[in-house]
C-alpha cells in the first residue's frame, strides 16, 4: 500500500510520481520548498525508499543529518526522479 501525505494542492495538474532512495548510511531529510502553497519534508533512513508526488519543476533538497543540525548536500530536479508505473 502506498501512502500519499501532503499531496499537491488541486490547482496543480502536471503531477508526476517520483522515487528517491537514501543510498547512504546516514539519516537524510528531504525537502521541496520551491512550489507556492505547498511544502514537503520527510526524514529518510539509510537504504529507505520513498515515493512521492511532485511537479516536474520541483527541486528536491537533500539534507544530511548531523548533530545538532542538517547540511544541504544535494539538490535534484524532480523530473529526474520520475518513475513509471512499470518500474
22-65 pLDDT, tens per residue? 999 999 999 998 988 888 999 999 999 999 999 999 999 999 98
Confidence of residue 68 (pLDDT cuts 50, 70, 90): confident
Predicted local confidence at residue 50, as pLDDT: 94
Predicted local confidence at residue 36, as pLDDT: 85
Query: Pick the residue with more confidence: 66 or 43?
Result: 43
List the grid coordinates of 77. 530536479
Query: What's the distance, Cα to Cα, between the start and end of the chain in Å?
Result: 16
CA atoms of 20 and 52, how far apart (whole Å): 8
Closest by CA to 39, choosing from 21, 60, 66, is 60
Predicted local confidence at residue 87, as pLDDT: 55
Residue 4 pLDDT exceeds 60: no
CA atoms of 62 and 75, how far apart (whole Å): 6
Amino acid at each position: 500500500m502506498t501512502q500519499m501525505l501532503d499531496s499537491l494542492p488541486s490547482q496543480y495538474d502536471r503531477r508526476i510520481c517520483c522515487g528517491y532512495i537514501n543510498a547512504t548510511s546516514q539519516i537524510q531529510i528531504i525537502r521541496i520548498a520551491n512550489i507556492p502553497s505547498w511544502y514537503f519534508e520527510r526524514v529518510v533512513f539509510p537504504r529507505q525508499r520513498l515515493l512521492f508526488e511532485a511537479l516536474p519543476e520541483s527541486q528536491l533538497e537533500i539534507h544530511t543529518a548531523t548533530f545538532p543540525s542538517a547540511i544541504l548536500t544535494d539538490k535534484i530536479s524532480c523530473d529526474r526522479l520520475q518513475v513509471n508505473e512499470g518500474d
